[in-house]
Amino acid sequence: MKKISVTWTIALVISLMFILGNAGSVFAFPARGDLQNTGNFPIKELPKGIFSWKLETGSKITGAPVVDSGTIYVGNHNGEVYAISLNSGEVKWKYQCDGSILGPVSTDDKKVYVGTFAGNVYALDKKSGIFIWNAKVDGPVMSGTFVFGDTVYVGCNEGSFYALNSQNGGYKWQFQAYRGFQSIPAIAEGFVFVGSFGGRFHALDPKSGSERWGGNTEGAMKGAPLYVDGKVYYITDNGYVRAVKLKGVVPLWHKYIGAPLGSSPAYVRGTLYIGGQDGKLYAVSADKGDVVWSYEVGSPINSSPVYAGGVLFFGSNDGYFYAIDSNSGDLLWKYEADSDIVADPSLGEGAVVFATMRGTLYVIK
């Protein structure tokens, strides 16, 4: 059995402190499970592949649903934000925004934050859905929103990355890149890590927004960066994965995986898991970048894997949702949905939540 490093344990504790404190509930998770985007969800009871309920919203869903205190928050391409009971599927409230919602929403103890294709960021009351504030940004919001402490981070397709005051929507700073942002950032070690569609990785100062270091890549970055154990990992759409040691900013390895990559990576005990456009989920050694195994579904995997209790969960463009063993890559169960699944899934206690391009939200227990 591999030992978990002290650094990784500290990072996990920090994320859990955020989940328990800042978000106000033991079941409040960011879109990728924690602040470092590891894809890990610390639930005790795993879903077993049994259909619980579904909700048809009537429009495409491409942003990950977020589970917070027994409520699911999700937006669709009609610009509607839903708050839905995880247990029953009852719609608690719905709010109409001014444009399509392409990425995940985010929550803290009082608000839901939403970015739209029309270039607005909204803050809504988490319990009632009542409008609190909105802030205008300089282009379509493709990345979704990401909240930490009193700051909401949001990336735009026109090349700007913003830090907004979560209390009133005021602008803290704006960083300008060559091209736009289509993924959420990771927060770790006093940095905001984010990749741009223009092919550059940025490590930003959270107070000023200045780039403290960065690096050019071979291609666009849609997948979210990942931090763990003193290292940051990031991927490009055309199939490359990079690992950088944060102390001293030392490049560790740089590998072509074998196919264009469609998802954000997940990390579990020394292994990265990444979905490919060739229809394979890749297990990649985090130490060297070697492919350990791959599981083929036959259609592109844009839905980023999430992890809990030895199981990886993800969807595919073939319309199936998969649960596979993280060690062996063996299929545990799969469920047929009504359309392509490109949004990242989310986990709640005893349940997995995913959505389709037909706009249907599913809960499997």
pLDDT given for residue 262 in this prediction? 83
Contact 169, 133 (CB under 8 A): yes
Q: Please tell me the distance from the alpha carbon of residue 169 to that of residue 53, in angstroms, as a whole number.
A: 35
Beta bridge partners of 75: 81
CA separation, residue 185 to residues 16, 59, 193, 347 (Å): 18, 26, 5, 20
pLDDT given for residue 28 in this prediction? 59
pLDDT digits (tens, 9 = 90+) for 56-108: 999 999 999 999 999 999 999 999 999 999 999 999 999 999 999 999 999 99
pLDDT given for residue 14 in this prediction? 42
Tokens for 238, please give them: 């055309």
* Residue 18: φ, ψ to 5°: -65, -45
pLDDT given for residue 9 in this prediction? 42
pLDDT given for residue 205 in this prediction? 97
pLDDT given for residue 236 in this prediction? 92
Spell out the domains of the chain, with CATH numbers in brackets: 51-364 (2.130.10.10)
pLDDT given for residue 300 in this prediction? 97
pLDDT given for residue 10 in this prediction? 41
pLDDT given for residue 218 in this prediction? 84
> Going by DSSP bridges, is the β-strand pair 211-216/291-296 parallel, antiparallel, or unpaired?
unpaired
CB atoms closer than 10 angstroms to residue 257: 23
pLDDT given for residue 235 in this prediction? 94
pLDDT beneath 50: ranges in the chain: 1-27
pLDDT given for residue 23 in this prediction? 35
